[in-house]
Amino acid sequence: MGGITWGYVLRRVGMWLLTILIGTTLIFMIPRLAPGDPVAAMIGRMQAQAGFVENSAQIIEAWRARFGLDQPLYVQYFNYLFNSLRFDFGYSLASFPGRVNEMVLNALPWTIGLLSLATVLSFIIGNTIGALMAWDRTPGILRTLLPTTLTFTSIPFFMLGILLIYVFAFGLRWLPPSGAYGRGLTQGFNLAFMSSVAYHAILPAMAIVVTSMGLWAIGMRGMMITTAGEDYMILAQAKGLKPSRIFWLYGVRNSILPQVTALALTLGAIVGGSLLVEYIFAYPGVGYLLYQGIVTSDYTLIQGIVFMLIFVTATAVLVLDLIYPLIDPRITFERG
């Protein structure tokens, strides 16, 4: 880490702040460019349920004032920036008096659990497949079978989810089609509840893993082919080292660095892709919550969730930039 200069660190932190600022500005503007008014839409839903809402015009005006939507756009923007710096996203427009922070915190453990498992499995399986496809000592039968795993990459997450529900839930009846745990169970760290959560997570996790591991395999295959011609690989073979050691410690280790970078950059995309997966499986995660916010034009909920995604992704990239010398000692930043 001694090769990292303060100038480099400051530039990276500056890019981190700029990324968050640009992302925050975009997620403030985009929902407001869409047609419709969230308060009017809320009153419309109330009318659909009750048949009639008395003094609806006055209610809309009062609620717009309550949420600050009657203020000029620039005032709303600066208020939003100030609140975002404090991670205070206010009340949900569609689920008042629920607060966005509480709603996200309730949904976050489900998404973290599902995506952590799915992402790790996809990363490990995909990179292993890609490395084996490029390794000249891979058995012929594996060289024939492994490329077939890449065909699932072209299938969207939600399409495969529908197929999995049809086959494993309604066809074979092996797995539940929806939900995060069985009915009548008490949430907590007990065996019955945790096993039910794992059981219900199999299908949504499978939909994410199967459709995303091909991308890791393609990237890893290209890096392994490039690495195979490096001098240290030739030297390792000339020394007579075990093929397995050359494969893992020389080939995979030196090819995995760009994949780790890609992992940080795709965290947001993975969460975005899981949105429809969570919706299809009625999984109570952040993706399903974001879907509800989009459908109901809930500005505050959309802004809160997307801001957290931008912050986490940008921070992951920043941390990776700063720890690169630990991952690969050949990398230094002496000149920033």
- Look at residue 1 in the predicted model and tell me its pLDDT: 45
Tell me the pLDDT band of 16, cut-offs 50, 70 and 90.
very high
CATH of domain 103-295: 1.10.3720.10
pLDDT at residue 51 greater than cutoff 70: no
Whole-number mean pLDDT of the chain?
Answer: 80
Q: Taking every pair of C-alpha atoms in the chain, what is the biggest distance, in angstroms?
A: 86
Which of 201-205, 237-241, 286-290 is modeled with the greatest confidence? Answer: 201-205
- Distance between CA atoms of residues 105 and 100, nearest Å: 8
Q: Mapping DSSP to helix (H, G, I), strand (E, B) and coil, where does residue 4 land?
A: coil
Give 199 or 317, the one with higher predicted confidence: 199
pLDDT given at position 235: 87
Mean pLDDT (whole number) for 312-330: 72
pLDDT band at 267 (very low <50, low <70, confident <90, very high): low
* pLDDT tens-place string over residues 65-117: 767 777 788 888 888 888 888 888 888 877 777 888 899 888 888 888 888 88
Give the chain's length.
Answer: 336
Could you tell me which residues are beta bridge partners of residue 259? none
Within 165-221, strands assigned E span none
Tell me the average pLDDT across 220-239: 86
pTM over 0.75: no
What confidence tens digit (pLDDT) does each residue in 120-142 have? Answer: 888 899 899 989 888 888 887 87
E strand or H helix at 31: helix 6-33
Residue 41: the pLDDT is 65
How far, in Å, CA of 153 to CA of 142, rounded? 19
What CA dihedral angle connects 318, 126, 197 and 166, to 10 degrees? Answer: 130
- Residue 99, beta-bridge partner list: 91
Higher-confidence residue of 279 and 174: namely 174
d(CA 258, CA 71): 46
Residue-level pLDDT at 167: 93
User: How many Å apart are CA 78 and CA 63, to the nearest integer?
Assistant: 20
Q: Which pLDDT value is given to residue 151?
A: 80
**What is the residue extent of each domain of the chain?**
1-94+297-336, 103-295
**DSSP 8-class letter at 331:** -
Task: Give pLDDT tens digits for 34-46.
Answer: 666 666 666 666 6
Q: What is the pLDDT of residue 18?
A: 92
End-to-end, the C-alpha distance of the chain in Å comes to 13
What does the pLDDT average to over 7-21? 87
In this structure, are residues 301 and 141 in contact, taking their beta carbons and an 8 Å threshold? no
* Mean of pLDDT values over 251-263: 81
Q: Are 290 and 305 within 8 A, CB to CB? A: yes
Q: What is the mean pLDDT of residues 237-253?
A: 86
pLDDT value, residue 75 = 85
The full DSSP string for 220-259 is HHHHHHHHHTSHHHHHHHHTT--HHHIIIIIIIHHHHHHH
Average pLDDT of the segment spanning 173-186: 86
- DSSP assignment string, 250-301: IIIHHHHHHHHHHHHHTHHHHHHHHHHHHHHTT--SHHHHHHHHHHTT-HHH
Percent of the chain with pLDDT over 90: 7
Backbone φ, ψ for residue 82 (5° rounding): -60, -45
pLDDT computed for residue 168 by the predictor:
93
